[in-house]
Amino acid sequence: MPKVLISDDLSPRAAAIFEERGVEVDVRVGLKPDELKACIHEYDGLAIRSATKVTADVVAAAENLKVIGRAGIGVDNVDVPAATARGIVVMNTPFGNSITTAEHAIAMMMALAREIPAADRSTQAGKWEKSRFMGVEVTGKTLGIVGCGNIGSIVAERARGLRMRVVAFDPFLSPERAADLGVEKVELDELFQRADFITLHTPLNEHTRGIVDAKSIAKMKPGVRIVNCARGGLIVEKDLRAALDSGHVAGAAIDVFEVEPAKENVLFGSDRLIATPHLGAATSEAQENVALQVAEQMVDYLLVGAVSNAINMPSLTAEDAPRLRPYMRLAEQLGSFAGQLTETGLEAVVIEYEGHVAELNTRPLTAVLLQGLLSPLLDTVNMVNAPMLARERDITVSEVKIDGPCDYQTLIRLTVKTERRERIVAGTLFGGTRARVVQVQDIHFEAELGRHMLFVRNRDKPGFIGKLGSILGSAGVNIANFHLGRSANGGSAIALVEIDGAAPEAALEAVRAIPDVIQAKALNFY
């Protein structure tokens, strides 16, 4: 039975979901880093929010960990590259708190517009400074949204309801989607120049870190107001403080900080600042939603192999997983076949999908094929880290989907280019479930792969089969199945032999010594 650790405060219903669906769960909130490192090897899954820091050291100690589930959007507290290298799926819940975060951004914008926090402090201090707090209306103003994904699009809809004009910068926002939202898609510089209010809703990465700095602030209107409920590193905080002090930025509402918890910050103390302690997702509805969502996602992965909202691998729904399983087995076998025959450096991989398989979600198939291909060459490879390992080794991977007639109802063809040669292997499914190899190089035949196989490439000459059988018989190796193919009479030939046990090395050497044998290798499929 899989076992999961919940190390942060989640709704009790999350633990109930694990238990109801047959996953053992421990709730141990507040573990210190050394305590987490000491116990993480016991678990197949780890469910967290933002408090638990899954560092490279924790990942290194996680001998059995298969999945990390983050109840929320940001995974800044997870060393995703280390988890990926270890073959651990990292999931988040990008939709469960979208509405809550968008509403917080709108609330912060309204608070900025009417200076509500400062007015509240003044009034409760016994002052009646009615003329001091002269706000601005949002109606008719231009809101600039940087990042118009799940949360940004909800902010856009709410802002349109407030009769604001909305401009958005997002490289992935299509013209059709922009039209549906009623926003104008613009370049970033134009957004900075036109917006009266700017709100950030983009991930933190190498392209967005410091997207609001002194240079970008200089392009903004005097009196602009800035809202950030996304990620702390998007704003260069010292540059924003200087702009607040000069009055170029009339106000900033900040929910996230570069260093959290933010007990001290260069922005603190400004009369033009509204600050909240990372409350974007802090509603009871959102916390319930993300906790239940992450539990369901983790259970689906641990029990049926379904992958939802993963940061580091393709998605595979619970409905797709059973349907794709035979194709994944075929893809892994083809990759393993080519990988076990590869003896020089890999340079490129081309995967062709024909027939029925071309209509399916092929990204998981490509990942598991790469797993099979690299497994004979590298330790600890799985479908999570195989694409990353291929990139690290400068192996070009290409997917091709071929429409039109096919000799088989479904076909996967793998072409591997090495430093010395190009190798082709293709396979299909018989009856929708039984994997068969149907092509090696230009030779076509049909072979089922058993656990122990002997692959022999030779020139087609009389007497070869008898000699091969005699050698195996003398070594006490029983032949279970024998598959033969050739390109032409007297040309290249292939024998793929299923045997009942591992072939002794001496028998392999004897096979290699047969005249006209080019290559003989033992293959294993598990």
Which region among 130-134, 280-284, 441-445 has the lowest average model confidence (pLDDT)?
280-284
Three-point CA angle 504, 510, 514, nearest 5° = 145
166-181 residue pLDDT tens: 999 998 888 888 999 9
Pick from 100, 105, 73: which is nearest to 286 by CA?
A: 100
β-strand partners of 185: 168
220, 168 Cβ separation under 8 angstroms: no
Residue 227 burial (CB count, 10 A): 27
Contact (CB, 8 A) for 445 and 436: no
Q: How far is CA 464 from the centre of its chain?
A: 50
Active site residue 176: no
Based on the residue annotation, tell me whether 278 is a catalytic residue of this protein.
Answer: yes
Confidence band (pLDDT; 50, 70, 90) for 369? Answer: very high
- Provide the strand spans (E) within 332-478: 346-355, 396-402, 410-418, 422-430, 434-440, 443-447, 452-459
Measuring CA to CA, which residue among 324, 325, 330 is closest to residue 360? 324
Number of other CB atoms surrounding residue 70 within 10 Å: 27
Give the contacts of 160 (CB within 8 A, at least 6 positions apart). Answer: 166, 181, 182, 183
Q: Locate tokens 């410091």: which residue?
A: 210
Task: State pLDDT tens for residues 393-425.
Answer: 889 999 999 877 778 889 999 999 988 889 999
Which long-range contacts (C-beta less than 8 Å, at least 24 apart) are formed by 189-192? 189/219, 191/144, 191/146, 191/167, 192/144, 192/216, 192/219, 192/220
Closest CA to 197 of 232, 229, 237: 229
Fold assignment, 98-275: Rossmann fold (3.40.50)
Q: Which residue has the higher pLDDT, 159 or 445?
A: 159
Encoding tokens for residue 85?
A: 């290298």
* pLDDT tens string 465-510: 999 999 999 999 999 999 998 888 888 899 999 999 888 899 999 9
DSSP state of 230: S
Q: What is the pLDDT of residue 3?
A: 96
Question: Which residue of the set 190, 260, 288, 347 is catalytic?
Answer: 260
Burial of 489 (0-12, 13-18, 19+ CB in 10 A): exposed
Residue listed under structure tokens 């390992």: 389
- Pairing label, strands 165-169, 142-146: parallel
**414 token code pair:** 């793998």
Q: Is the dihedral of CA 57, 60, 61, 67 positive or negative?
A: positive
- Assigned CATH topology for domain 320-524: 60s Ribosomal Protein L30; Chain: A; (3.30.1330)
Tell me if domain 98-275 and domain 320-524 are identical in fold. Answer: no
Cα distance between residue 426 and residue 439, in whole Å: 5
Residue 203 and residue 180 in contact, taking contact as beta carbons nearer than 8 Å: no
Domain boundaries, the chain: 3-94+285-304, 98-275, 320-524
Q: Which of 158, 231, 241, 329 is catalytic?
A: 231
* Residue 94 CB neighbour total at 10 angstroms: 18
* 231 is annotated as an active-site residue: yes
Phi-psi region of 467 (alpha: psi -120 to 50; beta: other; left: phi over 0): alpha
Distance (Å, rounded) from C-alpha 162 to C-alpha 12?
A: 37
CA–CA gap between residue 151 and residue 290 (Å, rounded): 15
Q: What is the pLDDT of residue 311?
A: 82
Task: Identify the band that residue 379 occupies on the pLDDT scale cut at 50, 70 and 90.
Answer: low
Could you tell me which of 293, 283, 230, 240 has the C-alpha nearest to residue 96? 293
Q: Does domain 3-94+285-304 have CATH number 3.90.550.10?
A: no
Peptide bond into 261 cis (omega under 30): yes
> Is it the case that residue 312 has pLDDT exceeding 70?
yes
Catalytic residue among 104, 278, 329, 436: 278
The H-or-E segment that residue 394 falls in is none
Angle at alpha carbon of residue 195, lines to 194 and 197, rounded to 5°: 170
Kind and range of the H or E run holding 369: helix 363-374
Strand order in the sheet with 249-254: 184-185, 165-169, 142-146, 197-200, 224-228, 249-254, 273-275
pLDDT of residue 149: 85
The per-residue pLDDT for range 60-112, each reduced to its tens digit, is 999 999 999 999 887 889 998 899 888 899 999 877 788 999 999 999 999 99
Is residue 436 within 8 A of residue 448, CB to CB? The reply is yes
Structure confidence by residue, pLDDT tens digits, 277-308? 999 888 888 888 899 999 999 999 999 888 88
CA distance readout (Å), 314 to 133, 219, 297, 367, 440: 51, 39, 14, 8, 29
- Kindly state the DSSP code that residue 272 receives in the 8-state scheme: T
CA pair distance 497, 484, nearest whole angstrom: 8
pTM of the shown model = 0.63
